[in-house]
């Protein structure tokens, strides 16, 4: 199971789940059990908390999407 996370800046985080990770997430399983679709859900609250903790601990740095100086 793989979840890719890229922190683009405060309030801007890209998260990409593979199929196995989506199936293994307990929060998404609860949604499916209640008849909702996890694809329509913005995020797993526990993963969001983990991302914020990683940022606070300095384990996940924001990446720049702008070109390096001098390119263009």
Q: How many domains is the chain built from?
A: 1
Question: What are the tens digits of pLDDT across the range 21-72?
Answer: 999 999 999 999 999 877 778 789 999 999 999 988 999 887 766 666 775 5
- With respect to residue 63, please indicate whether it lies within any of the assigned structural domains: no
- With respect to residue 9, please indicate whether it lies within any of the assigned structural domains: yes
Domain that holds residue 12: 3-56
* Residue 11 confidence class, pLDDT cut points 50, 70, 90: confident
- With respect to residue 61, please indicate whether it lies within any of the assigned structural domains: no
Q: Helix, strand or coil for residue 55?
A: helix
User: What span, in angstroms and rounded, lies between the C-alpha atoms of 41 and 46?
Assistant: 13
- With respect to residue 16, please indicate whether it lies within any of the assigned structural domains: yes
* Residue 18 confidence class, pLDDT cut points 50, 70, 90: very high
pLDDT at 16 over 60: yes
- With respect to residue 48, please indicate whether it lies within any of the assigned structural domains: yes
> Is pLDDT larger for residue 15 or for residue 9?
15
What global pTM score does this model have?
0.72
- With respect to residue 17, please indicate whether it lies within any of the assigned structural domains: yes
């Amino acid at each position: 199971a793989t979840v890719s996370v890229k922190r683009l800046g405060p309030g801007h985080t890209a998260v990409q789940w593979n199929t196995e990770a989506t199936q293994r997430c307990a929060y998404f399983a609860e949604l499916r059990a209640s008849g909702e679709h996890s694809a329509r859900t913005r995020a797993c609250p526990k993963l969001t908390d983990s991302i914020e903790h990683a940022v606070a601990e300095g384990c996940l740095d924001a990446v720049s999407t702008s070109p390096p100086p001098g390119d263009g």
